[in-house]
Structure 1
Amino acid sequence: MSASWALLITCEHGGNAVPQEYAPLFADWGDILASHCGYDLGALGTAQALARATGAPLVAATTTRLVVDLNRSVGHARLFSAVTKALPGTTRQALLAEHYQPHREAVARLVSQALAAGKTVLHIASHSFTPHFGGVTRHCDVGLLYDPGRAAEKIFCGRWLRELACLDSDLILRRNYPYRGVADGLATALRRRFGEGYLGVELEVNQRFALGGGEALASVSEHLADALRRALGRVAACR
C-alpha cells in the first residue's frame, strides 16, 4: 500500500457490556449476553492485533449489540433487540445518540479526513461468527466480505487471502461467507456515502479460535495481521 492509501480498523461488536442505567432490563439475559447474540467473541482481540501490526487507527465499541447494533442501519428490523425494541421511542433515540451515532460518526470522520487528504481508504471491520448456526456447521475459518461489483475490493481481498493461505495452508478461507458483503452493514453504508474512494472489507473469523483459548485466537490473529501487512506491500509477500 502506497502513501496514497489510508488504513482504518473497526470493531462494532467488541464486547457485551450493558450500560448501568439499562442493567435491570438485562437481569435475566446473562447467558444470551455471553453468547454470539451478545457480541462477536474474539473480534476485538483480532482488531487490536491488526491495528498493532499496521499502525492503523482502531475504532472499537464494547457495548453489547443487544442494546443497539452498530452494524445495522437506522430503520433495520434488527437495529434494536427484543429488549430495547419495546422501549419508548424517546429512549431508543437516546440509545442512538449515546452509543450508535458516536461510533458511526467517529468512523466516518476518519474516512472523511483521509479522503480530504487525497487518500483512498481501506476500512477493515473485524467481526466473528459462531461455528454452528441453525443446526448447520459452518465450514470456514476466515471469511472476507466485500462487494464483488467493486474491483478494488475484490482484488485486495484476493491478495489478502492468498497471503493468508501461504502463511497457514490449513485454514479454510472463503469469500462473502458466512454473509454477503453487500448486506446491510457499516461498510455498505459507507460505500454509498463515500463512493469509489472508500473500500470496505468485513473480516469474519470463526469463533472456534476464541473458544479454543487465548493461544488459538492469538495465532490466527497474528497470521491475519502478517498476511495483511504482506497484502499491503509493507513486507515481502509469500513465495
Structure 2
Amino acid sequence: MVQQTQRADRLAARRAQEARQSRRRRRLTGALSAAVAAVLVAVVVVLAVRAWSRDDDGTGGVDPDRANVAGEVVYRDLAREHVSGPVSYPASPVPPVGGPHDGAWQNANGDVYPEPLRAEHAVHSLEHGAVWVTYRGDLPPSGVDTLRAKVAGIPYRLMSPLPDQPGLITLTAWGHQLTVDSAADPRIDEFLTAYTQGPQAPEPGAPVTGGRAQP
C-alpha cells in the first residue's frame, strides 16, 4: 500500500513537472513570436516611412533632372525670357522643349487643336507645367483618336498636328521630350502621368486658360 502511494506521488510529481515545462515552452514560444512580429512591424514601418519620404516632396517620385521614361531625352539650362516676336528655335528638338517664348501662353486645358500651333505660345504653356502632344499627318485617324482621348478635357495637356516633326508622335514637357511610333505605346501614358503638372515646370500651377485659344 505504501509503495503504491509512493508511486502515485512520483507520478503526480512528474506530471506536475511536465506541466510546468510545457507552460514554460508555451511562454517562450509566445515571447519569441511576439518579438518576431515586433521586428516585422518595425521593418514595415521603416520601409513605409522611406517610401513616403521619397514621394512627399511633391514630385511623385519624378526627377526633373533625368529621364523618367524609357527613351525620353532631357534638355537643361533653357532660357525663359518673354519675347514679342518670332523665336529662332534650334533645328532640334522639334517641337522646342523650352527657351524664349511669347508672353501669351497657348490654352492647355485639355485643348485639342486641328491645326499646327505657334511654338512661341505652346512653349509658354510648357513653362506652366503642360504637356504638348504633337503628331505628323501620316498618323492614322485611329491613332489621332487614341491621342485625343488622352488629352481632351484634361488640364495641363494640349495637342496639335506638327507636319515637319521628325517623329510620328512626340510628347513634350519643359526640358523633356519623348518620340514614339505608335499611339498604343504605353510610354505615352507614363510620360503624361510624369510631366502633366510635373516638377520639371519652372512655374507649376500657373494658368493654362485665358491665353491664346486659336492655333
State if a TM-score over 0.5 links the two structures.
Answer: no
TM-score relative to the length of structure 2: 0.28
* More helix, by proportion: 1
TM-score relative to the length of structure 1: 0.26
Higher relative contact order (CA 8 A, sep 6+): 1
Structure label with greater radius of gyration? 2
